[in-house]
Structures are given as structure tokens and as C-alpha cells.
């Protein structure tokens, strides 16, 4: 497989690193291109990949192209590379809010397989949560190839495109919610006398450990909560305070607000 990543920002780099570490693509078959040429040269040299000087040269021999550019640049990049894309290859966009229909219109090629993904920032440490959708005509081989590539940087959930904005509102924006939670928990620890560094470490590890427990055991979050909540104990007192403050409602509303904003940005 010859992979081209257009856009050498944090997410493009994360995907490139994860894919190389998996061995699914060799450094010799990975090409980066970006308007920031110094950045591309540095990244390619570090990874042993190829740095292309322009998008058209970067895609001529590709079997899969990942568009990792900002949403406002997707249409222009697609129109630029469309004539140079080999027939039958796959184009995967990770640009937030860009629909498969918009991608198809910008490329204006019926001989391409199209996919859309919503990765999140934990992909930078190979712990991402990634939503994935395909245009209807994508073959099983294309689906397996794209899914396997993305799995190198995290967990992949294939969803209908109609649900992609909900993925954006939940896991795409979710790292910010969790970071806010960790910061707030650490503030609480500081309020109660813990040093800042220890409070933050304990808060972050608690979130990580709880998530790992739920993922590895398959336990419902309510059961994990109940297991910690002794009658008349400290945890149930804290939960009561969270419920009084509307914690659960706030989290649900945050996902809804972010999803609605994604709908608006997508023109849906």
C-alpha cells in the first residue's frame, strides 16, 4: 500500500506514526505533504517517509489518500488533486463537518472509494476513539483496509454518516470535557489540601483507571459507581453533591450542544 497524508499537523502526524508502528505501511511507502514545507521535511526525515513538495506529486502513485487538512481547505485540495488521483483508490477525509456528499462533489470522480472519519486527540497516544463512515459503494476490502489503518491509533466504531455529528459531539469534543473534569477534580483536591501536582496526577489516573476498568470488564458504568458507593459513605455524599449541581444533565447537554453545532457547520 502506498499512503499519502495531505496535512502534516498533529492528527496527520499521529495517524502516520501509528500506521508506521503497526507495520501496515513501510516508511518508503508513506508520503506527507503540507503547505508548511519545513514541517513536512522535518517530520518525513524523522519517520523515514517521503516529503512531497506539492499535493499533486504526492498522490500520483497513491493507493490511499488521507485528507488531514482544515475543513475550509478540503474543497480546494480535492479540486486540485482530483485529476491526478489514480483510478479506484480510496480517499479518507478526517476534516470535521465535511460530508461524504461534499467530498464527492469536490472530487467529482465516480471511480474513487470515499470514507470519512472523526478521530480525537488521544490518537496522539494511540488511545483514540474514532467514528468511521463510508460512501455506500465502498467494498468490503476498502472498509477493512481503512478500518485497520485507523485502528493503529485507537478504537474504531463504524457508524452511518447520519450519526457522525453525534460522534463529533461525544468523542470528538469529549477530550475537552474530560480534561475539564480532571482539572475540576484536581482543584477539589487542592481545595482539600493536596499539592497541585499530586492532585492532578491522582485525578488523571482515576479517570484513566475507571475507563480502563469499564472497557476491560464490560461493566455498566452504573455498576462501577454502585460498587464504590457504600451506604452512608463518602462516595454517595459526593454523588449527591454532583446530582444537586446537575452534573449528569450538564454532560448530556454538552454532547447535545456540540452535536447541534456540528450539524450547523455541516449545513444539516
Give per-residue pLDDT as tens, 98-146. 999 999 999 999 999 999 999 999 999 999 999 999 998 889 999 999 9
pLDDT of residue 266: 79
Q: Contact at 8 Å (CB) between 189 and 199?
A: yes
| CA 148 to chain centroid | 14
Q: Show which of 137, 164, 191 is a domain's final residue.
A: 164
Domain match, 152 and 214 both: no
pLDDT tier for residue 12 given thresholds of 50, 70 and 90 = very high
Residues 144 and 71 in one domain: yes
Angle of CA points 253, 99, 174, to nearest 5°: 30
| Per-residue model confidence (pLDDT) at position 164 | 95
Judgement on whether residues 74 and 183 belong to the same structural domain of the protein: no
Domain boundary among 164, 193, 222: 164
Domain count, the chain: 2
Rounded to whole angstroms, the Cα distance separating 225 from 244 reads 17
218 confidence band (pLDDT: 50, 70, 90): very high
Cβ(64)–Cβ(4) below 8 Å? yes
Q: Give per-residue pLDDT as tens, 143-163.
A: 999 999 999 999 999 999 999
- Is residue 46 within 8 A of residue 72, CB to CB? The reply is no
Distance CA 137, CA 265 (A): 25
* Sign of the Cα pseudo-torsion (191, 196, 198, 200, in order): positive
Which pLDDT score is estimated for 97? 86
CA 262/CA 30 separation, integer angstroms: 31
List pLDDT tens digits, range 56-87: 999 999 999 999 999 999 999 999 999 999 99
Distances, alpha carbon 6 to alpha carbons 103, 214, 216, in Å: 15, 36, 35
The per-residue pLDDT for 2 is 96
Please check whether residues 90 and 145 belong to one and the same domain: yes
Q: Check whether residue 52 and residue 111 sit in a common domain.
A: yes
Whether 136 and 218 share a structural domain: no
Contact yes or no for 2/61 (Cβ under 8 A) = yes
CATH code for position 187: 1.10.3730.10
**Same structural domain, 24 and 59:** yes
157 with 190, same domain? Answer: no
Q: What is the domain range of residue 117?
A: 3-164
CATH of the domain at 135: 3.40.50.720
Q: How many CB atoms lie within 10 A of CB 229?
A: 16
91 CA to centre of own chain: 17
Say if residue 90 is in the same domain as residue 217: no
C-alpha cell of residue 137: 459503494
C-alpha cell at 112: 474513487
User: What percentage of the chain has pLDDT greater than the value 90?
Assistant: 94
Of 164, 194, 227, the one marking the end of a domain is: 164
- 46 and 114 together in one domain: yes
Q: What is the DSSP letter of 124?
A: G
Q: Locate the DSSP E strands across 43-190.
A: 50-51, 64-67, 90-93, 113-118, 128-134, 154-158
Residues 44 and 133 in one domain: yes
Residue 27 and residue 89 in one domain: yes
**CA pair distance 6, 77, nearest whole angstrom:** 9
* pLDDT value at 243 more than 70: yes
Amino acid at each position: 500500500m502506498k499512503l499519502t497524508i495531505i496535512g502534516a499537523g498533529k492528527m496527520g502526524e499521529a495517524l502516520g506514526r501509528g500506521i508506521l508502528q503497526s507495520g501496515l505501511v513501510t516508511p518508503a511507502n508513506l508520503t506527507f505533504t503540507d503547505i508548511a514545507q519545513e514541517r513536512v521535511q522535518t517530520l518525513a526525515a524523522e519517520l523515514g517517509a517521503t516529503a512531497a513538495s506539492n499535493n499533486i506529486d504526492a498522490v500520483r502513485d497513491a493507493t490511499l489518500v488521507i485528507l488531514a487538512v482544515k475543513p475550509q481547505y478540503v474543497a480546494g485540495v480535492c479540486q486540485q488533486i482530483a485529476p491526478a488521483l489514480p483510478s479506484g483508490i480510496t480517499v479518507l477525509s478526517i476534516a470535521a463537518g465535511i460530508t461524504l456528499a461534499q467530498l464527492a462533489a469536490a472530487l467529482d470522480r465516480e471511480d474513487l472509494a470515499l470514507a470519512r472519519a472523526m478521530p480525537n486527540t488521544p490518537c496522539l497516544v494511540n488511545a483514540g476513539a474514532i467514528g468511521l463512515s463510508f460512501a455506500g459503494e465502498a467494498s468490503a476490502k476498502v472498509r477493512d483496509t481503512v478500518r485497520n489503518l485507523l485502528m493503529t491509533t485507537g478504537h474504531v466504531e463504524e457508524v452511518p454518516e447520519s450519526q457522525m455529528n453525534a460522534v463529533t459531539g461525544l468523542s470528538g469534543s469529549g477530550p475537552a470535557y474530560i480534561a475539564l473534569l480532571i482539572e475540576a477534580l484536581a482543584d477539589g483536591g487542592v481545595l482539600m489540601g493536596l499539592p497541585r501536582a499530586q492532585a492532578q496526577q491522582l485525578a488523571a489516573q482515576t479517570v484513566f483507571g475507571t475507563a480502563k476498568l469499564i472497557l476491560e470488564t464490560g461493566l455498566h458504568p452504573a455498576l462501577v459507581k454502585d460498587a464504590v458507593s457504600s451506604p452512608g459513605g463518602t462516595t454517595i455524599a459526593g454523588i449527591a453533591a454532583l446530582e444537586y449541581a446537575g452534573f449528569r444533565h450538564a454532560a448530556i447537554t454538552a454532547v447535545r450542544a456540540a452535536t447541534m453545532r456540528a450539524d450547523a457547520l455541516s449545513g444539516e
